[in-house]
Amino acid sequence: MSQDDASPSQPPAPVRSALRHRNFRYFAGGQAISQTGTWMQYTAMAWLTYELGHSTIVLGLVAFAGQIPTFFLAPIAGVLSDRLDRRRTILLLQWIALLQAATLSALVWSRQINQWEIIAFSLVLGIVSAFETPLRHAFVADLVDDRQDLPGAIAINSAIVNGSRLVGPFVGGLLLATMGEAFCFMVNAVTHLPVIAGLIAMRNLAKPVPAARLDFRSGIRDGFRYAIGLPPVYALLAFMCLVSIMGMQGSVVLPAIVEDLVHAGPDLYGEMTGATGVGAILAGIYLAMRKTVHGLGIRIVMAGVIYGGGMLLFTWLSAPHLMLAVLAVTGFALMLIKAGGNIVLQTIVREEMRGRVMSFYTMAVLGTAPFGSLIAGTIAQFYGPMTSITVSGIFCLVGSAAFAWMLPYLRREALAHLPPEVGELPLGDAMETTAEVPLPQQDKS
């Protein structure tokens, strides 16, 4: 039976093709649980920080500490990803994250915690994330034997990671209101165990193409040259930098909005944070159902416009139910930007450069975000949280317009520079909108 003849009750073809890989099912299942716990910790950590001092600047510092390691360490992590055993390295990092969460829970339970210690724990978690994120992105490619299944696997993984923003903050908000912050941190520690078990149970992993034994400096330099040598790659990374620096400010100041402007508690904060996850998981499902990369460029642009416009609309609202609806829409748009860019990059990069390019992706998405966190906290402290979100929305709209203007050029450059085995990658459909271009397949000769 062809894919088009599949029963409506079955998962979409790209989803089925990715889930037929046993190792990927182990990884995806563990990630679904672990990432939910991680978002519970993020929710509890932000709320606890604001409760201890009612300072948006300190909120920005906590976010900064958790994100700045990615800016400095992601390139090194990319080289390690191309040289080390990815499964064993991720396994080690999962144990460190588990111990971090358990220790934080014990300190909060004993009431021996202050804002600066929260910043320190956020820094530790940020260091783990700086190494684990590019490894995880590249590791997905090791879990599927057929490159044609890779975009579906990436979309599923992104849907899980971002969909956890629905369950994690919602459950975290409920637990905050009933059980307290310490319980949230302990639950997060336990949720790392399924990932650890899945990694241990994996067998017959696909062997990635080994990178040359280069030193770190040479490896980073070669990866940087490779990335800037492909205009579609550096244009996508630049756009994601802009969105991460100026577009993530709402999440930083949300505790202040909930408590000081809406006059609500941690349950609504969890719902608002989780609302972005509703949109994110829907966007992930949409991407997983796609059979082609054709048109992703223009959809990324449209998502940027929707995201920026949604933030501007949010600043005019005061009713919680309307705020939740807008946050769901912006969550969909943000997921489409990040996961869509991930799919494009993973589709076109050479295997020996995958880890390094994905480390640059991690820098663009996460490593630049701490600077936005500081900007958001400072603007909110002096001019109010809604002003901070307004500035974010304007920058996202301007960046989306610039990226849209570049799409025809990026398409021409992609066709001129990509190696033949990658196939045709229309980064935007600004120049043609008719042909269905299949996802590139790995050369098995």
pLDDT digits (tens, 9 = 90+) for 33-66: 998 998 889 888 888 888 887 787 888 888 888 8
Q: Is residue 434, in this structure, part of any structural domain at all?
A: no
- What pLDDT does residue 415 have? 64
- What pLDDT does residue 335 have? 85
Q: What is the DSSP letter of 421?
A: G
Q: Is residue 342, in this structure, part of any structural domain at all?
A: yes
What the block records as the tokens of 269 is: 């904060």
Q: Is residue 326, in this structure, part of any structural domain at all?
A: yes
Q: Is residue 249, in this structure, part of any structural domain at all?
A: yes
pTM over the 0.75 mark: no
Owning domain of residue 415:
11-206+213-422
Torsion region of 12: left, alpha or beta (phi above 0 gives left; psi -120 to 50 gives alpha): beta
Q: Is residue 303, in this structure, part of any structural domain at all?
A: yes
Instruction: Say which CATH number the domain at 56 has.
Output: 1.20.1250.20
Q: How many domains does the chain have?
A: 1
Neighbours of 53 (CB within 10 A): 13
pLDDT level of residue 27 (50, 70, 90 thresholds): confident
Mean pLDDT on 422-442: 34
Q: Is residue 3, in this structure, part of any structural domain at all?
A: no
What is the C-alpha separation between 30 and 21, in angstroms, rounded? 15
Q: Is residue 4, in this structure, part of any structural domain at all?
A: no
User: Do residues 368 and 244 make contact, with C-beta atoms less than 8 angstroms apart?
Assistant: yes
Neighbours of 443 (CB within 10 A): 10
At 199, which amino acid appears?
Answer: L
pLDDT level of residue 6 (50, 70, 90 thresholds): very low
% of the chain with per-residue pLDDT over 90: 19
Q: What is the DSSP letter of 143?
A: T
CA neighbor of 85 nearest in space, from 73, 74, 93: 93
How far separated are the first and last CA of the chain, in Å rounded?
A: 27
Neighbours of 435 (CB within 10 A): 11
- Name the more confident of 407 and 122: 122
Q: Is residue 437, in this structure, part of any structural domain at all?
A: no
Query: At a CB cut-off of 8 Å and minimum separation 6, what does 141 contact?
Result: 147, 150, 206, 208, 346, 351, 354
What is the C-alpha separation between 207 and 165, in angstroms, rounded? 32
What the block records as the tokens of 372 is: 């936005």
Q: What is the DSSP letter of 144?
A: -
CA neighbor of 167 nearest in space, from 31, 290, 51: 31
